[in-house]
Amino acid sequence: MRFSSSDRQINVNRLEALTDGVFSIAITLLVLTIRIPEPGEIISQSELIKYILSLDYELFSYCISFFVVGSLWISGNKRMKFLRKTDDLHLWLSLLNLLFITLIPLTTSLLSDYGDFEFVELLFHGNILMLEIIALIEWEYLIRNTDLVQEEVLSKLDIRNIRKKNFFSVFVPILGMVISIFTSAWSNLVYLLLFFRSLIIRY
């Protein structure tokens, strides 16, 4: 549990714990983007049903964001699993990653309320884009700093495949940005492509 490997590295376990903490809070705060009526605001049941049904776009945005955050958590886990130790630069990259994770409830909330504005869609896709770019940089850093990685795993890694997958992941929010210029409100459907990522690119 406690390796005491070297004075300068920090346990990978701690980084995993902070990451899981931030992800679980961000994923739970997302639900606050769905606004429910105040007590007394609604009087009849039919009015309430109408209100709940009008939340369709909020619920859709919530599900997409939950799915994207979940997908980032899964790919982040795969990346972190190879780690033997960390260094300061890698830790700061990971914290930068967490910073953009904490912004997702914010950009999702904006999307929920102002999804018909192109600018808000660009902000949301930009948030995801930053996360995917940081993931790509983190991978490249690990590939170049093999002392951070577990040897027995490293040999099994198909680096070409990892890069393909990373570029695909960066491409998806860019596609979302392009689509958001043409249509309004539904451009985040593009993230359903992430579902197929593991099918089209094995890894």
Site for its own copies in 53-92 (CB under 8 A): 63, 66-67, 70, 73-74, 77-78, 81-82, 88, 91-92
The residues in 164-193 that bind its own copies, with binding defined as CB under 8 A, are none
Distance, in Å, from the CA atom of 33 to the CA atom of 94, rounded to the nearest integer, reads 26
| Least gap, CB of 8 to its own copies (angstroms) | 7
| Least gap, CB of 188 to its own copies (angstroms) | 16
Stretch that binds its own copies, among 28-36, 128-136, 137-145, 172-180 (CB under 8 A): 28-36
Two structure tokens written together for 123: 């902000």
Q: Is 36 in the site for its own copies (CB under 8 A)?
A: yes
Helices (H), 54-117: 56-80, 88-114
Distance, in Å, from the CA atom of 62 to the CA atom of 130, rounded to the nearest integer, reads 20
CA-nearest of 25, 50, 35, 33 to 120 is 33
Q: Is 22 in the site for its own copies (CB under 8 A)?
A: yes
**Partners of residue 172 on adjacent β-strands:** none
In the complex with its own copies, the residue whose CB is nearer, 112 or 172, is 112
Residue with tokens 């990373």: 166
| Least gap, CB of 2 to its own copies (angstroms) | 7
